[in-house]
Structure 1
Amino acid sequence: MRPRLSPDRRVLGALWGGAGLFVAAVALAAAALLSTQHAAVVANAETRVTRFVAGAEAAINRSLLGMDMLLAGLAAPLSEGATGDEAGLRDRRSHLLAQVVRQNLQLSDLVLLAPDGRVLAAGQESSLRLGMQVPRAFLDDVLAPTVPALVISLPVLNTATAEQA
């Protein structure tokens, strides 16, 4: 037979049991609250990042559209006097491209290439003098579409500065 617990011991056990249940309930409530707050913070951060990325994407699109419009606007001035002497035409085109490069901080150089990859005109004297090494596959991709489009290549090594451009 087991010895019977005194009423004081029973009350003390019940109090400890109740206190333990209360502590467990508080810990469970705190964990649930932390989990809820964590989920809310993550959702808020995701929303902020999504807005930031959308804004950055819109800014890049505006920038590229502006660049596309700039290059489309150069078609007429670059084709003017195409039947003149080759050296004078090259100088006029290069002067125009140099002006565009100076006025646009997004451009480090602007080069007009022949279908075979020769430099016809360039915004920087060094590119005109040393030429531009454009990957043949990129040049083929640029010349392939019948509809004009803005195409951006991977950086290539500039022979004048030895920098990626």
Structure 2
Amino acid sequence: MKSLFLNMIQEHMYSKRYAKSTIEAYLFWIAAYIRFNNMQHPSCMGDTEVELYLNHLVNTQNVAQGTQAQALNALSFLYKEIIKVPLSLSLNFVKSERPRKLPVVLTQTEVTALFKHCITKHYLACALLYGSGMRLMEALRLRVQDIDFDYSCVRIWDGKGGKTVL
């Protein structure tokens, strides 16, 4: 069960129409920040505690740049939107230098083997995802009228960033 404070933040984010995954991530980082600071209320803390927490993430937990950035964004949201006292623009913390993971690319043989094991009813969606670079939600939102047989193209609605793609 979440605290009343975290529930209030969740309701505020829902009212601002944040994505469910963003809400979950931000609540995770805010709760972790509060636990790191011995359950102190964030309104009693500020830049110094945020800097200590971000340093802890890099030095102790060895998180990647993106993870540290997500934690910073969550805390920035907390202080700007909820506490109404924005963080300083000149926070002084150690930035993660852990290298980004390179994506794993399958060979043609591996892709062929993958498609051989694909269930028939999922084959078309998997082939579209692989061949076009579509994201999962883009493929799941496809409808028959999104396919233009005359021009041999597919229309993507609500692509990442709110783009419509042909």
The alignment's TM-score, normalised by the length of structure 2, stands at 0.24
Bigger radius of gyration: 1
| More RCO (CA 8 Å, sep 6+) | 2
Taking structure 1 as the reference length, the TM-score comes to 0.24
